[in-house]
Amino acid sequence: MAEKMKREIHSLRKGLIAEKKKSVKLRKGIATARKKTAKTARAVAARTAGLSTEMSRLKINLQNLAKKKTPKKQLSEYNLFMRRQLRDGSSFNRAVKLWKVYTMGASITRKKAAKTRAVASGAGAKIRTAERGLNKRELLAGMRIALSEFSAESDANVQELRETMRKAGAGVARHNGNRSMPDERVAIEIISVFFQEVHRLGMKRSLELDDVVNSYFDTLSRIKGMKQIIKPELHPVPQTVSDKLSSHQWPGKAPVAGG
């Protein structure tokens, strides 16, 4: 019985010691929190006092600017900007410097309009002309080079178009003997290949109905061996047009053996 009581007393002592340690730790935590709170309160008080002082300086500054008849819109913008900077922790002097930087970046420097005046007519009157700073020789040389390149490219396109039209005409002549396909259908097939190639190469960015109609009737007249009715606007066409016409399987006609 006595041994049991000793064990219980020992257990109670352990519990009291543990509670005492917890109490000490809790008191230390409370003391630390109080110190931090006091430090924060002092910092807030100091900042509030400093902010109050800076706001007073801003108020005096605004009054002085109002006496100088500064526009109200500019005063309002200046007041909002300065208050924002002061609340963020900047001093009054630093906020003024930031305002100057802000206004310098936002302002647009414009040249003053030139004043015109009548020029007195006489022998001593001189008219000044502003120099444009352009080198005429270099400009003309560049234009000559560009025109020569464009001319060479245009000549090549025209030559390619002539050769293509010649071979296309030969292809039409070969297929014209086949009467199983109407001439109208043959004309449609030809202009379809033509405009597909033009679109693929980007040679013509826009296409009007007149272009299609003129091309159709002109092609039809060539197929029938009639006089050309409407002369279409010629565009550079690649060599593959005639190849497509030659390789096209026309209905009702067997392909030629051996090519």
At 129, is the pLDDT very low, low, confident or very high (cuts 50, 70, 90)? Answer: low
Q: Is the dihedral of CA 168, 172, 173, 175 positive or negative?
A: positive
Residue 172 and residue 223 in contact, taking contact as beta carbons nearer than 8 Å: yes
pLDDT of res. 131: 54
What would the mean pLDDT of 110-114 be, rounded to a whole number?
59
Instruction: Dig out the tokens for 16 from the structure.
Output: 């009291």
Cα three-residue angle 224-227-233, rounded to 5 degrees: 100
Query: What mean pLDDT value characterizes the chain?
Result: 70
Instruction: Give the closest residue to 213 by CA, choosing from 230, 228, 238, 196.
Output: 230
pLDDT of res. 128: 61
Whole-structure pTM value:
0.29
Domain ranges of the chain: 9-106, 147-247
**In this predicted model, what pLDDT tens digit does every residue of 163-199 receive, in sequence order?**
665 666 555 555 555 555 677 777 777 777 777 766 6
Radius of gyration of the chain measured on its C-alpha atoms: 48
Listing DSSP states for 219-250 in one string gives HHHHHTT----S-PPP----THHHHHHHH---
What would the mean pLDDT of 11-31 be, rounded to a whole number?
87
What would the mean pLDDT of 20-26 be, rounded to a whole number?
87
Residue 204 and residue 198 in contact, taking contact as beta carbons nearer than 8 Å: yes
At 226, is the pLDDT very low, low, confident or very high (cuts 50, 70, 90)? Answer: very low
Percent of the chain surpassing pLDDT 90 = 0
pLDDT of res. 132: 55
pLDDT of res. 228: 43
Q: CA 58, CA 55: separation in Å to the nearest integer?
A: 5
Q: CA 118, CA 124: separation in Å to the nearest integer?
A: 14
Most confident of 50-54, 191-195, 206-210, 215-219: 50-54
Q: CA 202, CA 138: separation in Å to the nearest integer?
A: 32
Most confident of 49-53, 106-110, 158-162, 209-213: 49-53
